[in-house]
Each structure stands twice: as structure tokens, then as C-alpha cells.
């Protein structure tokens, strides 16, 4: 199944005002892989994601999604196979009701009404919010909004799921539900996040960005053990990998410094 591959080759991007966004990024993500994209604020995570869905065009280099190089001609086909969950659900939920919002993608794919309805209900059931179908998005809680935002994307049955900070602004319970939900997805996943504990649970592979450059790319556990890399990239060991400050005899690394 070669068509779920995401590949970046020698990617460069400079913002119109001259700020460097991305510099020489190379990676290849295979079918079914779950990859975390981590880095400090302004490291280029969101910029990279916007490239993967064709919202920004690289100044140099190219991206391949599946068999297609990402360009204007293939944009539609690419967006059909790539689903993006935005950081702020309010940006993603723009229709009057939850049902209409989830139906937006399938209708634009040209599905007949009956199929649209079926798809919407399946998507809502998958994320566990089918009871919200008739509600207005602006009346939902943060956790519900996030779940609906994910439903809007999976209703278009993408092969590749891209998420920008999916666990931000969620209470611990909602975050846990989100993680359990994402574990059940078999899509190729690319998750940009600061939540390294979630990355540890969900993603076998991690790409670390630092100032627009690829600082590391490898197995998540191995990278999170590399204190120098984490410190240089403005990150910190996930809490689950740190000693317990109350019962561990070893002082936790942060205090030791």
C-alpha cells in the first residue's frame, strides 16, 4: 500500500517577511506509522503541517503524499487522502450544527444524501458523541468540540491523519479519552504536540524540530532518553519517564540540576 506514504525531500520554506520557517527537512513516513512531531514554540511544527496539506507551498524541495507529488494539480486528490485536525476546534467547526459540520466533507465529496447521513452517524459514534448531532458547535465543551472536530475529519475517510496539538486545552479525563480513541485508529498519524507523554503512548516514532531544522528522527523512547537533545530543543523528559519526586530515592533530573 504505497499510497499512504508521506515524504518530504529537502524542504525549505521562508515566510514572505523573510523569517526562516523550515530548513532542509527530509523524512519519509510509511503506511500505518504513528509519528509525533515535537519541538519548542516556533520550531516549525505548524508550518510543516500546513505544508503537508498543501496550504503552504515550499520555497524549495518537494513533498510526496502517496504516489503524487504535492502540487496545485494534485491538491484535491491529496486533500481527499489527508485529514487535518486543527488546534482550535472553533476554526474547524464552522457549520450551524454538529451534523452539518460532519456532513460538510462527505457532501463535498459528492456522496448521495443517504450515504452522507450514514457516514456522519458512523463518524460521530466512533468518537462517542452521536448524541450531540443536533447541537450547535458553539455550545459544546472543549472536549466535545475536539471529539466533533476529529469526527469531521474521519467522516471523509482519510488515509493519513494530521493533528495539531490534539490534547491542548483538554481536562485530564478528556485527554485520556482522546488517547484511547487515537489508539484505535489504524490511519497513518502525524501528531504535532507538546504533550510528550501522549507522544510516548501513541507514537513509535518521533521527529524533533528545532528552529526550523530537523534535530532528530527516530524511535520515540530512545529520543526521549537523550537529555542533551531534549534540552537543546527546548523540551523536557515526559513525566512518565521521570522518577517520582515522592517515592523515588533518586532525585528527579530537573531538581538535580
Partner 1 sequence: MANLHNNLFDIFYMDTLAAGDTWLHRLDPRAKVLTTLIFVATVVSCGKYEVSMLIPFILYPVFMVTLANLPILYIIKKMALLMPFAFFIGIFNPLMDKNIIARIDLTGIVVWIETIGLNNIMGLIDFNGLKGITGTIDVSGGWISFFSIMMRFCLTVGAALILICTTGFDSVCMALQRFGVPGPFIVQLMFLYRYMFVLIDEASRMLRARALRTFDTGNIKHNLFGQMIGQLLLRTLDRAQRIHLAMCCRGFDGHVRMVRKMNFGMTEILFVAGWSLVIVTFRMYNIPVKIGTLISEIP
- By CB under 8 A, name the binding residues for partner 1: 50, 53, 55, 76, 79-80, 82-84, 86, 88, 90-92, 94-97, 99-100, 103-105, 107-109, 113, 116-117, 134, 136-139, 152-153, 156
Q: How far is the CB of 116 from partner 1 (least distance, A)?
A: 6
Q: How far is the CB of 184 from partner 1 (least distance, A)?
A: 22
Please report where in the chains the cell 488546534 appears, as a residue.
87
Using the minimum distance from each CB to partner 1, give the nearer residue, 96 or 245.
96
State the Cα torsion 254-255-256-257 to the nearest 10°: 60
DSSP H or E segment with residue 202: helix 196-202
Indicate the residue among 55 and 239 with the shorter CB distance to partner 1: 55
Order across the sheet with 20-29: list the strands: 20-29, 6-14, 60-65, 68-69
**Min dist. Cβ of residue 41 to partner 1 (A):** 16
Give me the least distance between CB of 108 and partner 1, in Å please. 3
Nearest residue (CB) to partner 1, 36 versus 116:
116
Smaller CB separation from partner 1, 53 or 207: 53
Q: Which residues does residue 16 pair with via DSSP β-bridges, in sequence order?
A: none
| Rounded Cα gap, residues 41 and 45, in angstroms | 8
In the three-class reduction of DSSP (H, G, I as helix; E, B as strand; rest coil), residue 148 is classed as helix
Which C-beta is closer to partner 1: that of 25 or that of 82? 82
Of 110 and 173, nearer to partner 1 (C-beta) is 110
Sign of CA dihedral 103, 93, 148, 132: negative
Counting every residue written for the chain, the total comes to 257
The distance of closest approach from Cβ of residue 104 to partner 1 in the complex, given in angstroms and rounded to an integer, is 6
Which has the closest alpha carbon to 88: 168, 152, 155, 162?
168
Q: Name the nearest CA neighbour of 205 among 227, 223, 183, 187.
A: 223
What's the min distance (Å) between Cβ of 93 and partner 1? 8
Amino acid at each position: 500500500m504505497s499510497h499512504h506514504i508521506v515524504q518530504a525531500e529537502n524542504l525549505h520554506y521562508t515566510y514572505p517577511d523573510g523569517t526562516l520557517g523550515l530548513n532542509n527537512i527530509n523524512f519519509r513516513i510509511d503506511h500505518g506509522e504513528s509519528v509525533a512531531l515535537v519541538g519548542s514554540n516556533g520550531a516549525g511544527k505548524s508550518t510543516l503541517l500546513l505544508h503537508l496539506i498543501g496550504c503552504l507551498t515550499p520555497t524549495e524541495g518537494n513533498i510526496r503524499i502517496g504516489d503524487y507529488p504535492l502540487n496545485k494539480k494534485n491538491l484535491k486528490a491529496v486533500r481527499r487522502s489527508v485529514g487535518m485536525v486543527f488546534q482550535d476546534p472553533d476554526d474547524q467547526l464552522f457549520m450551524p450544527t454538529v451534523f452539518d459540520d460532519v456532513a460538510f466533507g462527505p457532501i463535498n465529496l459528492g456522496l448521495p444524501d443517504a450515504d452522507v447521513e450514514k457516514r456522519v452517524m458512523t463518524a460521530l459514534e466512533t468518537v462517542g458523541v452521536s448524541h450531540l448531532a443536533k447541537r450547535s458547535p458553539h455550545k459544546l465543551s472543549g472536549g466535545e468540540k475536539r471529539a466533533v472536530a476529529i469526527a469531521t475529519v474521519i467522516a471523509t475517510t482519510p488515509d493519513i491523519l494530521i493533528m495539531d496539538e490534539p490534547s491542548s486545552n483538554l481536562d485530564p479525563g478528556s485527554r485520556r479519552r482522546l488517547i484511547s480513541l487515537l489508539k484505535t485508529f489504524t490511519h497513518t498519524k502525524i501528531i504535532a504536540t507538546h504533550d510528550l507523554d501522549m507522544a510516548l503512548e501513541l507514537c513509535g516514532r518521533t521527529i524533533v524540530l528545532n528552529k526550523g531544522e530537523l534535530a532528530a528522527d527516530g524511535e520515540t523512547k530512545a529520543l526521549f532518553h537523550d537529555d542533551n537533545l531534549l534540552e537543546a530543543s527546548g523540551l523536557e523528559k515526559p513525566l512518565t519517564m521521570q522518577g517520582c519526586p515522592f517515592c523515588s530515592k533518586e532525585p528527579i533530573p530537573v531538581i538535580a540540576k
